Amino acid sequence: MSDKPKTSGPKTSGAQVIEAFVKTLPGSPGVYRMLNAAGDVLYVGKAKSLKKRVTAYTQPDKHPIRIQRMIAQTATMEFALTHTEVEALLLEANLIKKLKPRYNILLRDDKSFPYILITGDHDFPQVLKHRGAKDRKGEYFGPFASGAAVNEAIETLHKVFLLRNCSDSIFSARTRPCLQYQIKRCTAPCVGKVTREAYAEQVDMARQFLSGKSRKIQDVFAREMLAASERMEFEVAAAYRDRIKALTHIQSHLVKGLDNADIHALYQQDGMTCIEVFFFRAGQNYGNRAYFPRHEKDETPEDVLAAFIAQFYASRPVPKEILVNIPVSDKGMLEEALKARILKPARGQKRELVDMAFKNAADAFERKRAIDASQTELLEGLADRLGLDAPPERVEVYDNSHIGGTHALGAMIVAGPEGFRKNAYRKFNMDNKSSRPEDDKTKFSPGDDFAMMKAMLTRRFKSLANDETAVRPDLLLIDGGAGQLKVALEALSDLGVSDIPVVAIAKGTEASGGGRNAGRERFFLPGREPFRLEPNDPVLYFLQRLRDEAHRFAITAHRARRSRAITSNPLDEISGIGEKRKKALLLHFGSTRAVTEAGVADLQKVDGISRAVAEKIYNFFHEQR
């Protein structure tokens, strides 16, 4: 595959720009990108013959209005040649996910899925939930549609197979069994209540269970229960009975003949689409999730579903079988690219499952439409109460958090017609350690909330000014009163921003003094006296939710930062000091503080610490000071 960007000279129309490229294009497979004058990618497409496909754009009148607009905006094009059309399909899906072009069908919610991990780097493996890169040694089972689905499965593994759920550090520090052992959810390998070999058998059975062999395990438990009864060990027999009962409950929900498959059911109405995805692994339902891809109203359901499936599996493992409720475009090519079978079942249990997924898609669609309608009504009410020209499409809410000025952190959340946009949330580490001259105006004393707010907004809008593709907010909501509003306006004024409305929301104070009183919020706007909304006004509740979400996000981020600072060890920052030397130093001196105060000669007395290493440790701490 080769990537060959090409540009043309000035043209009077997008069609002429495209026509200039056609003259030099080959008739081989590849991917093309259409860009506007600002360099933004408008559309990414694939073709079996680039020359033939791109030629079609030179006659705008034969296309829908939407494509005519795209052609008119095209200022240049880029091309990537591929060996096969299948390779072009895969490249197209990856580029669409990465570039998010305006005129493509887009999978908007692209969160990673959780897995169950049976660790492989410990003598007594742990079962845990895992997200992200699979870089830890062990076996991964999934994906699951949600964290709740994983948690339910892990709870079953603990209940049936008695595997540990503690971290390695807690495991190594235990001196007696924990509560999990007492309630028969763990065999307490941490204190030697089970041998390594016996625990390995427990792990192997859990592995078999996750691979769909629960019937075999149930037979083993049944034999053990009978043997315990014959030995008159009735408590042991009862424990096996409970484990068999849990397995029986799970088996009642198994789907025969559906070993490794995903279901994609599309529901479409009024030009909008919901696609419900169900995950089945080892005959078990691993949960479901609804998606709402972005596309134009004239896109066919077959094209939407095909584009969705291609993007969905661009960075995810593909099951052996994909069940759908409608035909998909380019089915043969999709199957070849994904190395999976795409099937629209006509009868039997698979058809029933697809119908169930379709019903879920319809229900999810109706729920979202109801929520969107309510959200739109609230934004219209917000515009009315605050005197805005139009309902805001993007509301940014700011708050900050610190304890006595330490670990100061700012937070921004974003909301719009579709609700909270969590992928747009942002944190600001306000440690005030910048040495850049241009940041002098944003420096502040620890605990100065006003200056922190000003610094946060300055950083935010500087980054907006430097990013031409960034979306500007339609409204800023500041947690605070007149003081916060003043510094927010100063920050925007310093950067030449005067067209974004700003409102500060302050909690009211009870007549008796001192207490916070939700529902008595006062609102501060430039050039307007502070005011309150009616206690039962839905817009007031909406503003409270926005402020509380910003507060929650700020507090959560601050706690995480503070926790990292508490658990961090300065010794970790010294190159050449691994776990073994760090442990030896702490055992010898008793604390990190004592290590920082030790001389070179004292440091040399520790096993494994040479004079060169001792000098490195000594110089590190004394240079730091």
Reported as a single tens digit per residue, the pLDDT across 222-238 is 887 888 888 887 877 87
With cut-offs at 50, 70 and 90, classify the pLDDT of residue 5: very low
Q: What's the mean pLDDT in 561-590? A: 72
Q: How far is CA 17 from the centre of its chain?
A: 39
CATH number of 2-99: 3.40.1440.10
Domains 260-367 and 395-565 share a fold: yes
Q: Which CATH class is domain 395-565?
A: alpha beta
398 or 155, higher pLDDT:
398
Write out the two tokens for 460.
């935010």
Among the residue ranges 512-521, 553-562, 582-591, the one predicted with the least confidence is 512-521
Please state the three-class secondary structure of 399-453 as a single string: EEEEECCEEEEEEEEEEECCEECHHHCEEEECCCCCCCHHHHHHCCCCCCHHHHH
Percent of the chain at pLDDT exceeding 70: 87
Topology (CATH) of 570-624? DNA polymerase; domain 1 (1.10.150)
Nearest to 292 by CA among 304, 278, 283: 304
What pLDDT, on the 0 to 100 scale, is given for residue 254? 58
pLDDT exceeds cutoff 70 at 565: no
Q: What's the mean pLDDT in 65-88? A: 91
What pLDDT, on the 0 to 100 scale, is given for residue 336? 92
With cut-offs at 50, 70 and 90, classify the pLDDT of residue 441: very low
Question: Would you say 93 and 310 are in contact if contact means Cβ atoms under 8 Å apart?
Answer: yes
Give the chain's radius of gyration (CA, Å): 30
User: What tens digit of pLDDT does each residue of 329-384 get?
Assistant: 989 999 999 999 999 999 988 999 999 999 999 999 998 888 888 888 999 999 99
Question: Would you say 51 and 22 are in contact if contact means Cβ atoms under 8 Å apart?
Answer: yes
Q: How far apart are CA 88 and CA 81, in angstroms?
A: 8
Q: What's the mean pLDDT in 544-555? A: 90
What pLDDT, on the 0 to 100 scale, is given for residue 434? 46
What pLDDT, on the 0 to 100 scale, is given for residue 207? 86
What pLDDT, on the 0 to 100 scale, is given for residue 439? 47
What pLDDT, on the 0 to 100 scale, is given for residue 314? 85
Nearest to 284 by CA among 144, 160, 163, 148: 144
Strand ranges across the sheet with 2-6: 2-6, 76-81, 30-35, 41-47
Write out the two tokens for 514.
């001192």
Please state which of the four CATH numbers 3.40.50.970, 3.20.20.140, 1.10.10.370, 3.30.420.340 is assigned to the domain occupying 260-367.
Answer: 3.30.420.340
Q: What's the mean pLDDT in 560-573? A: 63
The domain locations on the chain are: 2-99, 260-367, 395-565, 570-624
Among the residue ranges 47-61, 281-295, 402-416, the one predicted with the least confidence is 402-416
Cα-Cα-Cα-Cα dihedral sign, residues 487, 492, 496, 497:
negative
Residue with tokens 């706007």: 525
77 or 148, higher pLDDT:
77
496 or 623, higher pLDDT:
496
User: What tens digit of pLDDT does each residue of 296-312 get?
Assistant: 888 899 999 999 999 99
What pLDDT, on the 0 to 100 scale, is given for residue 265? 96
Q: What's the mean pLDDT in 264-275? A: 93
Q: How far apart are CA 531 and CA 537, in angstroms?
A: 14
In Å, how far are 18, 35, 54, 56, 61 from 10, measured between CA atoms? Answer: 12, 14, 19, 21, 22
Q: How many helices (H) and strands (E) does the chain have?
A: 20, 20
Describe the crossing of helices 301-312 and 331-338 by its angle, rounded to 10 degrees: 10
What pLDDT, on the 0 to 100 scale, is given for residue 339? 92
Nearest to 540 by CA among 385, 391, 418, 395: 385
What pLDDT, on the 0 to 100 scale, is given for residue 510? 47
What pLDDT, on the 0 to 100 scale, is given for residue 179? 87
pLDDT exceeds cutoff 90 at 596: no
pLDDT exceeds cutoff 70 at 563: no
What pLDDT, on the 0 to 100 scale, is given for residue 433? 52
Q: How far apart are CA 91 and CA 76, in angstroms?
A: 20
User: What tens digit of pLDDT does each residue of 141-191 get?
Assistant: 888 888 888 888 888 888 888 888 888 888 888 888 888 888 888 889 999
Percent of the chain at pLDDT exceeding 90: 34
Q: What's the mean pLDDT in 461-465? A: 83
Residue with tokens 């908007």: 108
pLDDT exceeds cutoff 50 at 624: no
Q: How far apart are CA 596 and CA 603, in angstroms?
A: 10
What pLDDT, on the 0 to 100 scale, is given for residue 508? 64
User: What tens digit of pLDDT does each residue of 203-213 get?
Assistant: 888 888 887 77
174 or 430, higher pLDDT:
174
Write out the two tokens for 225.
């229960």
What pLDDT, on the 0 to 100 scale, is given for residue 42? 93
